């Protein structure tokens, strides 16, 4: 059995040279340092006849870190349930008032948030946009989906939306301040913007995810992949300031902890809620992890299919280990376009 190589330090991760920092670069040493494989697992996986590239290609959109196959879509719908639990059954936190007329959900995915919103606000026209056409056909009559790249020039009329919503766009955009300028321009004066983002890094309030553990390495690898794509993954830590800098007023941030696994104690009411969230989050990561990891770790970090699968074996063990008290930080930020 191989011993785990040392994990790259933060400094190593950020000290990539120019040549290594390209999406097409072959495996760079710092990626090798972040993965540790058990020989027997690797050999078993190497021997499987898998059309790895085909699997990855069919699951990925062009220039998009998000896979869009069945597992990915199911994972998004599980995620919706988790976010509802985190937000105490609310679809959003911004005080938008009872009668929004026009609402935009950017990067709508399966459209599950937009569908619920359209049902709750039947007098609103709701538009969901995405790069991928994965939205259902039978939807509320006040909802429409459009294929649109949020990073391109928007064609919607300016000053037209009462509410613009984003959930889970980290790792998808290169120029966030430019994105917020478009959001600002397309909101009506007094209209609200809200964004929910989660971290790619797993945290624990004790020492159960030490440096070198699979959960730590997961966050480091995804952060590195985001840096190499030029699409930051640490949006949750920056979105509040981006909104303030973008001229939004009354900017509010709320933070949440989203546990993974069955480790939370169910002795208190809050503990029971956390345990329920942890159970669903375990289902979410186990459904989505292969798609997320294959997409980024093979294409962007140059790992092999077998290496990614072996790493996922370690990840699944950690997520299911009740001694590992891991959670994912979540940030919800909202702000208003000034009336003037």
Residue 129 binds ligand SAM (CB under 6 A): yes
- Ranges within 187-226 binding ligand SAM (CB under 6 A): none
- Ranges within 166-185 binding ligand SAM (CB under 6 A): 167-169, 172-173
Place of tokens 């056909």: 137
- 315: tokens are 């990840």
Residue 288 binds ligand SAM (CB under 6 A): no
Residue 66 binds ligand SAM (CB under 6 A): yes
Give the number of other CB atoms < 10 A from CB of residue 235: 25
Give the number of other CB atoms < 10 A from CB of residue 165: 26
CA angle 216, 15, 314 (to 5 degrees): 20
Residue 130 binds ligand SAM (CB under 6 A): yes
Q: How far is the CB of 148 from ligand SAM (least distance, A)?
A: 6
Spell out where the chain has E strands: 102-106, 125-130, 143-147, 161-167, 187-198, 249-259, 327-336
Q: How far is the CB of 134 from ligand SAM (least distance, A)?
A: 7
Whether the CB-CB separation of 202 and 328 falls below 8 Å is answered with yes
Q: How far is the CB of 255 from ligand SAM (least distance, A)?
A: 18
Rounded-to-integer distance, Cα 179 and Cα 195, Å? 12
Number of residues that bind ligand SAM (CB under 6 A): 23
Residue 258 binds ligand SAM (CB under 6 A): no
What would the x/- binding string for ligand SAM be over residues 22 to 61, using CB under 6 A? ---------------------------------------x
* Closer of 182 and 209 to ligand SAM (Cβ): 182
Place of tokens 């020492």: 207
Rounded-to-integer distance, Cα 307 and Cα 122, Å? 48
Rounded-to-integer distance, Cα 214 and Cα 133, Å? 34
Residue 246 binds ligand SAM (CB under 6 A): no
Give the number of other CB atoms < 10 A from CB of residue 11: 7
Whether the CB-CB separation of 25 and 302 falls below 8 Å is answered with yes
Q: How far is the CB of 274 from ligand SAM (least distance, A)?
A: 21
Residue 227 binds ligand SAM (CB under 6 A): no
For ligand SAM, which residue has the nearest CB? Answer: 109
From the list 130-138, 155-163, 301-309, 314-322, the region that binds ligand SAM by CB under 6 A is 130-138
Cα 95 vs. chain centroid, distance in angstroms? 24
Rounded-to-integer distance, Cα 252 and Cα 149, Å? 27
* Closer of 53 and 175 to ligand SAM (Cβ): 175
- Ranges within 71-110 binding ligand SAM (CB under 6 A): 76, 79-80, 107-109
Residue 131 binds ligand SAM (CB under 6 A): yes
Rounded-to-integer distance, Cα 340 and Cα 212, Å? 51
Residue 135 binds ligand SAM (CB under 6 A): no
Residues that bind ligand SAM (CB under 6 A): 61, 64, 66, 76, 79-80, 107-109, 112-113, 129-132, 149-151, 167-169, 172-173
């Amino acid at each position: 059995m191989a011993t785990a190589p040392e994990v790259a330090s933060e400094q190593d991760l950020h000290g990539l040279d120019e040549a290594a920092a390209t999406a097409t670069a072959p495996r760079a040493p710092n990626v090798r340092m972040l993965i540790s494989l058990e020989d027997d697992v690797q050999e078993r996986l190497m021997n499987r006849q898998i059309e790895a590239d085909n699997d990855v290609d069919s699951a990925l959109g062009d220039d998009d870190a998000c896979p869009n196959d069945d597992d990915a879509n199911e994972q998004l719908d599980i995620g919706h349930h988790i976010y509802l639990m985190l937000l105490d059954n609310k679809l959003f936190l911004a005080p938008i008032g009872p009668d929004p007329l026009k609402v935009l959900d950017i990067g709508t995915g399966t459209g599950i948030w937009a569908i619920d919103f359209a049902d709750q606000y039947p007098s609103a026209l709701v538009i969901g946009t995405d790069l991928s056409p994965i939205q259902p056909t039978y939807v509320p009559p006040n909802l429409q989906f459009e294929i649109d790249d949020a990073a391109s020039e928007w064609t919607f009329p300016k000053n037209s939306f009462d509410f613009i919503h984003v959930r889970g766009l980290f790792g998808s955009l290169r120029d966030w301040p430019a994105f917020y300028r478009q959001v600002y321009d397309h909101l009506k004066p007094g209209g609200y913007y809200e964004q929910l983002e989660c971290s790619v890094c797993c945290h624990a309030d004790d020492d159960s995810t030490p440096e070198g553990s699979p959960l730590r390495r997961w966050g480091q690898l995804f952060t590195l992949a985001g840096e190499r794509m030029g699409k930051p993954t640490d949006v949750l830590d920056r979105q509040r300031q981006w909104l303030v800098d973008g001229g939004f007023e009354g900017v509010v941030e709320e933070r949440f902890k989203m546990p993974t696994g069955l480790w939370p104690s169910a002795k208190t009411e809050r503990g029971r809620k956390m345990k329920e969230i942890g159970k669903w989050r375990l289902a979410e990561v186990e459904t989505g992890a292969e798609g997320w990891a294959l997409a980024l770790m093979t294409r962007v970090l140059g790992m092999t299919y077998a290496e990614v699968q072996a790493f996922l074996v370690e990840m699944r063990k950690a997520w299911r280990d009740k001694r590992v008290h891991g959670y994912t930080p979540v940030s919800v930020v909202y702000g208003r376009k000034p009336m003037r």
